[in-house]
């Protein structure tokens, strides 16, 4: 048996070991396989990080060029059968094999001892140490996800602390008002599909109908739910819980790009569920999304390296197929909620995504009067940003520097976060309807779907997807609304790119994307 590289897992800090997991409990596990042509895959990764990335290819061409080797699928399937595990599904394009069985059989097959842990948020099935695989198939396996089901990510939204507002409350905005302030190009995103990834909660069609009717959006956008790993649209009735995230995402995209189809991919809040949701959306040949919006994440330090690699490979697949991915950079400033040091949020830190930071925005007479880094101070909310400890510096960020609040500027040696920004302060936030009531929400969770809606309009106008846009965004740095005031804790806003608001907020009509 050989350990799977990067699969080492430790309990959630503060969790208590409650003993062995029930040996009869059934679970499903996703096995990620190597590409059939690793050299081509590595070359594609390097090309995407250059200043002139390659043009996108179709989903069908991707499957041929970068899919798994059928022999590897057969070998893993035979291994599973020998250990009494059932083959649920396999997908050559996604390079995945899904296996089902009991805890006892997975313990024996992968050399682990699954346990039950109790922590502040509840209980979960977990493990310590590395996952093992037989020598003959270990080289083919890049990740084994789903043995543990500890919660992997949090939504990045914040609710306004004042009393429930009306749409006319001073200082807040409807999403279409923000689109107008940021000078989004005309259009409604017709013909596009925006994928939204959710790890809990749900939406109520009656709320969406009321919300869009109140904004004069007619006909209402088409919203479809897609189940991933048995996740489903499950409203909880808690506006401060995941329902808030789901409704925020749908209502921002749907009101700014009402002509676009919205496909919501519901998955469990685990590393396997999160990765599978993004991979499913990227390869979806039915809905065919051209944009993915993600408003969930966690500090890089909270992920196993195998899960981060699997997730980043799903994002690289999306980029290769011309799918633009917008991800919230986090709401806890330069610390990303970790007790000490500077940390960035993943998956926003992936170089294959557009990381979306946050501002606080003031407007009057239909024009922006001021915009600074979002930082609530004592309330603890601030634009996530900093420097990755995992991902290398992409060529399109070469020569940039991260400036600390003390004034010292250090040249970027690794991937800098975020790339772009938009209004995220809940005090200047988005009027949204959740669970039968109107409220105001902020956080970088609102910025990712706002940028996704902008890309939907740009795609529809151009008649083709803008695709993987990062290099193009940095080449057009001068077109952004540069944010030069404020900080997110340890990093300060400066002229040009900074580790608080990236290149700045959009001036939509000025963006000229391929």
Phi, psi of 221 (to 5 degrees): -60, 150
Phi, psi of 9 (to 5 degrees): -130, 140
Residues 132 and 2: beta-carbon distance below 8 Å: yes
Catalytic residue numbers?
245, 249, 445
Q: Which residue has the tokens 């995103």?
A: 189
Residues 335 and 297: beta-carbon distance below 8 Å: no
Phi, psi of 420 (to 5 degrees): -140, 180
Q: How far apart are CA 512 and CA 514, in angstroms?
A: 7
Tokens matching residue 89: 């599904």
Taking 3-state DSSP, the helix, strand and coil percentages for the chain, each rounded to the nearest 5, stand at 30, 30, 40
Tokens matching residue 125: 């099935």
Tokens matching residue 110: 């992968």
What secondary structure does DSSP assign to 227-253, as a single string? ESTT------S-TTTHHHHHHHHHHHH
3-class SS of residue 504? coil
Listed in order, strand segments (DSSP E) in 267-406 are: 291-294, 296-299, 324-328, 345-346, 354-364, 367-373, 386-392, 401-403
Residues 141 and 76: beta-carbon distance below 8 Å: yes
Query: Which uninterrupted H or E stretch holds 266?
Result: strand 261-266
3-class SS of residue 359? strand
Q: Which residue has the tokens 């499903």?
A: 28
Nearest to 355 by CA among 301, 406, 394: 394
Residues 6+ apart with CB under 8 A from 105: 83, 84, 85
Q: Which residue has the tokens 């699969």?
A: 7
Nearest to 390 by CA among 437, 446, 352: 352
Nearest to 214 by CA among 259, 262, 251: 251
């Amino acid at each position: 048996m050989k350990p799977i590289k990067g699969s080492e897992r430790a309990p959630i800090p503060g969790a208590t070991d409650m003993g062995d997991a029930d040996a009869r409990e059934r679970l499903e596990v996703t096995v990620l396989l190597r590409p059939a042509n690793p050299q081509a895959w590595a070359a594609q990764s390097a090309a995407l990080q250059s200043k002139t990335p390659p043009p996108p290819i179709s989903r069908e061409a991707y499957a041929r060029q970068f899919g798994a080797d059928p022999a590897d699928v057969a070998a893993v399937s035979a291994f599973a059968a020998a250990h009494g595990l059932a083959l649920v599904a396999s997908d050559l394009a996604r390079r995945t094999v899904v296996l089902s069985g009991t805890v006892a059989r997975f313990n024996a097959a992968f050399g682990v001892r699954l346990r039950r842990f109790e922590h502040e948020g509840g209980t979960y099935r977990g493990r310590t140490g590395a996952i093992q695989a037989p020598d003959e198939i270990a080289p083919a396996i890049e990740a084994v996800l789903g043995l543990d089901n500890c919660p992997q990510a949090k939504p990045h939204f914040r609710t306004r602390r004042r009393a429930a507002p009306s749409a006319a409350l001073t200082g807040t905005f409807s999403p279409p008002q923000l689109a107008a302030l940021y000078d989004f190009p005309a259009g409604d995103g017709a013909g596009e599909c925006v994928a939204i990834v959710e790890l809990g909660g749900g939406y109520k069609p009656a709320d969406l109908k009321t919300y869009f009717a109140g904004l004069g959006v007619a006909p209402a956008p088409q919203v479809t739910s897609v189940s991933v790993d048995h996740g489903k649209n499950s409203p909880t009735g808690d506006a401060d819980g995941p329902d808030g995230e789901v409704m925020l995402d749908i209502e921002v995209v749907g009101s700014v790009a009402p002509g676009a189809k919205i496909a919501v991919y519901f998955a469990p809040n685990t590393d396997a569920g999160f990765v599978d949701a993004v991979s499913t959306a990227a390869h979806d040949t039915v809905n065919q999304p051209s944009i993915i919006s993600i408003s969930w994440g966690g500090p890089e330090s909270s992920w196993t390296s195998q899960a981060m690699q699997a997730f980043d490979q799903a994002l690289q697949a999306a980029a290769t197929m011309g799918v633009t991915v917008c991800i919230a950079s986090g709401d806890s400033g330069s610390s990303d909620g970790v007790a000490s040091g500077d940390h960035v949020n993943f998956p926003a830190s992936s170089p294959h995504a557009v990381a979306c930071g946050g501002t606080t925005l003031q407007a009057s007479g239909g024009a922006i009067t001021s915009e600074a880094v979002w930082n609530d101070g004592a309330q603890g909310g601030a634009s996530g940003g900093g420097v990755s400890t995992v991902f290398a510096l992409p060529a399109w960020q070469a020569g940039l520097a991260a400036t600390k609040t003390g004034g010292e500027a250090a040249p970027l040696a690794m991937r800098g976060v975020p790339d772009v920004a938009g209004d995220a302060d809940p005090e200047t936030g988005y009027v949204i309807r959740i669970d039968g009531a109107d409220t105001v929400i902020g956080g970088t969770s609102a910025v990712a779907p706002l940028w996704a809606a902008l890309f939907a309009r740009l795609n529809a106008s151009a008649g083709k997807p803008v695709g993987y846009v990062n290099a193009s965004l940095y080449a057009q740095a001068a077109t952004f609304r540069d944010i030069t005031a404020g900080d997110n804790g340890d990093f300060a806003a400066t002229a040009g790119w900074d580790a608080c608001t990236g290149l700045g907020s959009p001036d939509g009509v000025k963006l000229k994307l391929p």
